[in-house]
Structure formats: C-alpha cells, structure tokens
Chains A and B, each alone.
Chain A
Amino acid sequence: MFPTPIHQRPIVNQYIYKIFLPISLIIWLIPIFGILMTSIRGLGDITAGNMWGTPSEFLLFSNLYDVFTNTPMIKYTLNSFKVTIPTMLGAVALSCMTGFALANYKFKTNLIIFFIFIAGNFVPFQILMIPVRDLTFKIGLYNTITGLVLFHVAFQTGFCTLFMRNFIKALPQELIEAARMDGASEFRIFWKIILPLTRPAIAALCVLIFTFIWNDYFWATVLIQGDHAMPITAGLKSLNGQWITAYHLLSTGSIVAAIPPVIMFFLMQKHFIAGLTLGATKG
C-alpha cells in the first residue's frame, strides 16, 4: 500500500513525524490565527503596530455589527448563494449525464469529446478573461448573476465530467447489461441504476463545487460591477474606507465569508474524502 502507514515505518521516522506534524500544523494555522486575532481588534491597535499582542479592546461584536451595517454584506452573502447553488446543481447535473454517456456508450468521438472536457481544465483563467467578458457583454449577461452562473457551470462541467466519467466507468458493467436485458430504457438505467450508485460521488462533487464557486474571487470581479450581483468574496473590499484599509473589518468579514463552505465541508466530510479517492483507482 502506498503511502506506507506511519506505524509500519522505522521508530525514528515515527518520532520525527510526531514532532514535525504539530509544528507544521501550527505554521499552517498561524495566518488563520492572525485573522481571528485581528477580527477582535480595533483599527487603533493595528495602527499602533499591536498585531500579535493582547488586544487592547475586545471588539468582535462591534466589528461584526460594522460589517453587517456599513456595507450590504447580507446582500453579498445572498448573492453568493444565488451564484453557488445553481452552479453546483447545474454542473453536477450536466456532468452526471455527460459522465454516463462517456462511460457507457462506445462511439467514434468518445475519447476526443472526453479529452476536450479535460482540456478545458488546463486553460488558465487569465487567458479567458477578456474573451469571456466580451462574450457575456455581447449576449447581454454582463454584470448579472445569470451570466456568472452560466460561465461557472460551463467551466466546472469539464472537471466534473472527468470525475463522474471515471466513477461510472468503475461501476460493474454487469448491472447495466442486466437492466438492458430486462428491457429498461436507457433513461431508466441512468435514473434508477446509475444515479443511486453514484450518490457518494455526487455528494463529493457538490462539496467541491460549492467551495470552488463560493471562494471564487477572480470571475466575480471580472464579470460583476455593481452591488446588485456582487458575491461576498469580492464584496469584502467594500469594507475598506475611502482612504483606509480596515484590516479589522476585512478579517471579520473574511471569517463570516468562510463559514458556509466550512459548515458544508464538515457536514459532508465523510463523502468528501471517500469521494476524492473513489474515482481515482481506475481511469
């Protein structure tokens, strides 16, 4: 088995592991700790250079109050849901169908189509920025939630298709053949046999896509201009004053923005980890 489980390694390695794991964990978590600390400070502490020391005042609640009253943060959060949930549903639904078709039917262009889906993942966002902006502008979807959702669905479907196709391909072929013998229509096979079996994969994909889209900053700033459709990640910048970077409010806002994907992750944790390795063994 790879990687070798730690308790089968030499005893020295086990000790090194036990010492360095907590150290590296702490190093990884320092920035998050810093954000947590900053979110309970006032701007005065930050200007005075008191970044890591004891906060002179405990201002978490007043910062939270400011975050929600100074800026349309509630609207931004709603916008984030309006973008994330349809994208999640759309990309997962489409990829279940494409994955099923690509895994089960033998036709000439099967591999080519599959590769096109995969190739989409390798195109850097930055290259697409201007054409996509122009495209949405010409269709009249620029600066709308629909435009952002459609783009995300299109872009995420590539990765989801790769994931679903490999997963469905790994399912026992006999199940489908048996259903065909019994005279089930292709749609019925998809609906009654494939979908229930792919449930863990669907759950994992949902979590993944939810986090991807929720955390998207790039496309939100490219395709959205006004408050009416701005998701929370891009909306955070409005917490800054005209002159002043409000680090304390930005930190508090970031924590608020991070809560939904974290909740989603912990709720679906089991599926998430199982799903990540599920399709991986057979390609």
Chain B
Amino acid sequence: MKKVIISLIMMFGIISSTSFAGTLVINTDTSDAAPKKAFEYIIKKFEEENPDVTVKWNVFDHEGYKQSIRNFLNTDPPDVANWYAGNRMLPFVRAGLFEDVSDIWKDSGWVDGNLSENMEHAKKSMTIGGKQWGIPYTYYQWGVYYRKDLFTANGISVPKTWDDFVAACATLKAAGITPITIGSKYLWTTAGVFDYLNLRTNGYEFHMDLTLGKVPYTDPKVQAVFDKWDELVKPGYFLENHAALSWQEALTPMVNGEAAMYVMGNFAVAPLKEAGLRDSNLGFFQFPEITPGIPMAEEAPTDTVHIPSKAKNKTDAKRFLIFMSRADVQEEINKILGQLPINKNSSVKKGDPFLKAGLNMLNNAYAMAQFYDRDAPAQMASEGMKGFQEYMSNPDRRQKILERLEKVRQKVYK
C-alpha cells in the first residue's frame, strides 16, 4: 500500500512538473492555410523575443473548435485561446471563463503607448460590463464593392446618402444592369445587407439590442429597416434568382459587367481580381448614410485572443496578449492574412487601395458590429437569415416573417 501511495505521489509530481512556468499553451482554430501561417509566424517571433518561454500550440479544426472551446475552457484550459469579439464572447464572459484584461487596455506603459487610444475604435466590441476581456488582432471591412467603369458610363458618382444610392440603382436598372448582385443560397450574405440597413437606420446600439434579444422583431424600428429594404427589393434592384447562387457564383455577373455592386466583405476582392477586374474598374465605398446624424458603425468581424480564467500561466499569457496588440506584430500578421490590423499605428501592404480604404474607414468607425451570425446566438441567427432570404424572394411576406422571428426570439432568449 505504501508503495502505491509513493508511486502515486511521484506520478503527480511528474504531471505537475510538466506544466512549469515558462510553458505557454495556446489553443487556436487556425486550421485554414493563411491563419495557420500567421500563427506559425507570430509564435516563432514571440519565442525569439522571450527565450524563457516555450510555446505549446494546439491547432483545432475551424468548425470543431466551436464545440471544443466549451470543453477545454472548463476541463483543460490553455493559457491563451483565440475567439471572436462582441456577443460571441458573451457566454464565456458570463460563465466566468475569460479573464478580465482591462489592465492591459488601461496601462499606458506598453511598448506602443496607450492601447486604449490605439485601439479605441475596437474597444466597444471587446467590452462587456465596463471591462475588456481580450485583445483583437485582425479584422476586415464590409462595404459596397462596385464597378467603377459601369458607374462612369452611366454618370453615377459614389453615393453618400441613401437617396443617392437608390437613385444610382434606378439609373443602373434603366440601363439594363443589375444594380446589386447577391447570392443567398447559403443565407449569410443577406445578413450583411440587413446589418448595414439596421446600423444606418437605427444605429449601433439598437442593432446590438436587437441581436442581444432585447427588442422584438416586430418593433417599428425593425419595420423601418424593412421599409428601406423594400426600396431595393420591390423595384428588383437585387440579382434575380439570387437564392440559387452561392456568394461566389454571384460574383460572375459583376465580372461580366452585368451587375454593378455587391455588399460584401473584403475577401471578395481576391477572386474578382483573379477573374480579371483591376483597380481601375473595381472600387469600394462605405455603405451610405440612411438616418442623418447617426454615427457610422461598421461591420468588421474581429478575431481576438483571450486568457481563460483557469489558465495556469497567466503571467506569460499577458505577455503574449501585449505582444499581440503591438503595431508591428499586427502589421505582420495581417500582411499574411491579407486583412486589417486593429492598432492604429500599423500600416497595411502598400498599393492595395481596398485595404487602405478599409483601414481608413474602420480607424474612424464609431463602433464595430461583428456580423449578424456572430452577434446573435446561433439559433436566432440561423432563423433570422432564413427569414431575410425569404423576404428577399417574397417581400410581401414580410409581416409573417417578422412575426415568426419574434416567436423564435422569445424562445431563444428565454
């Protein structure tokens, strides 16, 4: 018996000694090629700068991670885990699984000076209950991508207001060009349009209240969003049979000059350019203003790093988070990702007008929405997007759809 106890003690000794200070465990969902490469790079750089720290890095499958993180935050927490900003991190913050990192945001002694200042525009999406729960390291912009040549040929200038935008659509339609292309087969593209209409009609705070389930879908303010949407859907300004196309297939009319605009994320630029469009005929503009005076919030899905509250090595984890917030580090990560750094002191790849436009727009944004399916809980998001797609195909069913969404809301946010 004694022997057993001794060997048990020895075993525990061995187990606990493997997690000595200086080992930093990082879990990420970066299974896709570019994000994987980006993390390979920064982990190597971090180890070079901090020779006393050894990083143990676990890459999870992108989809599987959504499930795994729930398990490992409780049972086998790493020291750092990546995740997403906004309401996506809310359940973990509420359950006390993420560490409050407000001190990193407050302290002005870091290499780059005051973090709160350099990342002020992203602070709202990292804040819950007045505290910050992680560090954002990459995002990308959404907006309207358009064919410059089609605009010029029809005498349209970049629309700044909703009236200009609708007028531009009318002109294009009259010229036999589909004003806005969209492929709604996989639903999510419709949410991009909804988000922007809501952000511009009612503002960021209302949009957050809606996605947090605090406002009914039958609210007059939501009706107002659909009134605006009607102005585009009813005259047929969106691509016909959009429900049969994926977002990627809906690029084709734009490449062929049959459609002029696309409300999309910046990842659309690469395939459009590969298909032959150039900076000379492809452009980007901010989604136009609808209700005057409402501060312009943007759609910018943000990837973040967090410290689990049960992490063993919080000291080095904080060093890693500070490292990830640095302008030079964010610049390098985002060069690999082809996305945008959050730190205002970072710059982007020269000669890419789309990244430059996005950087300017987001650096001056009032706040960042994370996209409907990240801001709303999964079940609500999936029903909501189904509803948006149905509405876009049959705008007359709007009232029924909104009533159905309201029922879902009452069930989901109980």
Q: Which positions in A face B, CB cutoff 8 Å? A: 42-49, 70-71, 225-226, 238, 241-245
Residues in B whose Cβ lies below 8 Å from that of A245: 246, 248
Q: From A47, which residue of chain B is reached at the shortest CB distance? A: B275
Mark B residues whose CB is within 8 Å of A.
31-35, 61-62, 64, 246, 248, 251-252, 255-256, 265, 267, 270-272, 274-276
| Residue pair B32, A47 in contact (C-beta under 8 Å) | no
28 A–B pairs (Cβ distance < 8 Å), ordered by A: A42-B274, A43-B271, A43-B274, A44-B271, A44-B276, A45-B275, A46-B275, A47-B255, A47-B271, A47-B272, A47-B274, A48-B252, A48-B255, A48-B256, A48-B276, A49-B252, A49-B255, A49-B256, A71-B33, A226-B61, A238-B31, A241-B33, A241-B34, A242-B32, A242-B33, A242-B34, A242-B62, A244-B271
The answer to whether residues A244 and B276 also contact, given A47-B252, A49-B256 and a CB cut-off of 8 A, is: no
A47 near B267: Cβ-Cβ < 8 Å: no
- On chain A, the residues within 8 Å of B271 by CB distance are 43-44, 47, 244
Q: How many Å lie between the Cα of A243 and that of B268 in the bound state?
A: 9
Q: Given A47-B252, A49-B255: A241 and B275 within 8 A (CB)?
A: no
Q: Is the CB of A242 within 8 A of B267?
A: yes
User: Nearest A residue to B273 by beta-carbon distance?
Assistant: A44
Interface centre among A47, A48, A49, A70 (most CB of B within 10 A): A47
The answer to whether A47 and B61 touch across the interface, beta carbons within 8 angstroms, is no
| Chain A residues with CB under 8 A of B270 | 244
Q: Is the CB of B248 within 8 A of A47?
A: yes
Q: From B337, which residue of chain A is reached at the shortest CB distance?
A: A242
Bound CA–CA A49/B276 (angstroms) = 12
Residues on the B chain within 8 Å of A70, using CB: 33
Q: List, in ascending order, chain A residues with CB within 8 A of B31's CB.
A: 238
Besides A71-B33, A244-B248, 17 other A-B contacts (C-beta < 8 A): A42-B274, A44-B276, A47-B252, A47-B271, A47-B272, A47-B275, A48-B252, A48-B275, A49-B256, A70-B33, A225-B61, A242-B33, A243-B265, A243-B267, A244-B270, A244-B271, A245-B246
> Do B275 and A44 touch (CB < 8 A)?
yes
Closest residue on chain A to residue B31 by CB atoms = A238
Closest Cβ neighbor of B252 among chain A residues: A49
Complex-state Cα separation, A46 to B64, whole angstroms: 30
Q: How far is the CA of A245 from the CA of B252 in the complex (A)?
A: 14
**With the chains together, A238 CA to B252 CA distance in Å?**
24
Instruction: Across the interface, name the chain B residue whose C-beta is closest to A240.
Output: B32
Q: Is the CB of B61 within 8 A of A241?
A: no
Pairs of residues from A and B, 10 with the lowest C-beta to C-beta distance, nearest first = A47-B275, A49-B252, A243-B267, A242-B32, A44-B274, A48-B275, A44-B275, A48-B255, A47-B271, A47-B251
A-B pairs with CB below 8 Å: how many?
Answer: 49
Q: Separation in Å of the B327 CB from the closest CB of chain A?
A: 24
Contact call B256/A225, Cβ cutoff below 8 A: no
**Which residue on chain A has the smallest CB distance to residue B33?**
A70
Measured CB to CB, the closest approach of chain A to B177, in angstroms, equals 16
The residue among A46, A241, A243 with the most chain B CB atoms within 10 A of its own CB is A243
Chain A min CB distance to B313 (Å): 25
Chain A residues positioned under 8 Å from B274 (CB to CB): 42-44, 47
Which residues of chain B are near A242, meaning CB under 8 Å? 32-35, 62, 267
Nearest-neighbour CB distance to chain A for B262, whole angstroms, equals 12
Please report the C-alpha to C-alpha distance between residue A49 and residue B32 in the assembled complex, in whole angstroms.
Answer: 26
Complex-state Cα separation, A241 to B268, whole angstroms: 12
Q: How far is it, in angstroms, between the C-alpha of A71 and the C-alpha of B270 when the chains are bound?
A: 20
Looking across the interface, which residue of chain B has its beta carbon closest to that of A226? Answer: B61
Tell me the minimal C-beta distance from B36 to chain A in angstroms: 10
* Docked pose: A242 CA to B30 CA in angstroms: 10
Instruction: Report the Cα distance A46→B251, complex, angstroms.
Output: 10
A277 to B253, CA, bound (A): 52
How close is B149's CB to chain A, nearest CB, in angstroms? 16
Chain B nearest CB: distance from A49 CB in Å? 4
Taking A47-B252, A49-B255 as contacts, is the C-beta distance between A244 and B61 under 8 angstroms? no
Kindly provide the distance from the CB of A253 to the nearest chain B CB, expressed in whole angstroms: 14
B248: shortest Cβ distance to chain A, in Å? Answer: 6
| Chain B neighbourhood of A43, CB < 8 A | 271, 274-275
| B32, B252, B255, B265: the one within 8 Å of A241 (CB) | B32
Least CB separation from B268: chain A residue: A243
Tell me the nearest residue of chain A to B64, going by C-beta: A225
- Give min CB distance, A235 to chain B, whole Å: 12
Closest beta carbon of chain A to B59's beta carbon, Å: 9
Query: Which residue of the partner chain B has the closest CB to A56?
Result: B276
Residues of A contacting B62 in the complex (Cβ-Cβ under 8 angstroms): 242
Task: Tell me the bound Cα distance from A104 to B35 in angstroms.
Answer: 60
Report the minimal beta-carbon distance from A63 to chain B, rounded to whole angstroms. 13
For the complex, what is the distance from the CA of A43 to the CA of B273, rounded to whole Å?
A: 10
Chain A residues with Cβ under 8 A from B256's Cβ? 48-49
A residues within 8 A CB of B267?
Answer: 242-244
Note all chain A residues with C-beta closer than 8 A to B34. 241-242
Alpha-carbon distance A44/B275, docked complex (angstroms): 4
Shortest CB distance B246–A (Å): 7
CA distance in complex: A46, B271 (Å): 9
Report how far A46 CA is from B255 CA in the complex, Å: 11
Distance between Cα atoms of A43 and B274 in the complex (Å): 7
Q: How far is the CA of A7 from the CA of B51 in the complex (A)?
A: 82
Alpha-carbon gap, A71 to B248, bound state (A): 22
Residues of B contacting A42 in the complex (Cβ-Cβ under 8 angstroms): 274
A244-B275 Cα distance, complex, nearest whole Å:
13
Closest chain A residue to B255, Cβ basis: A48
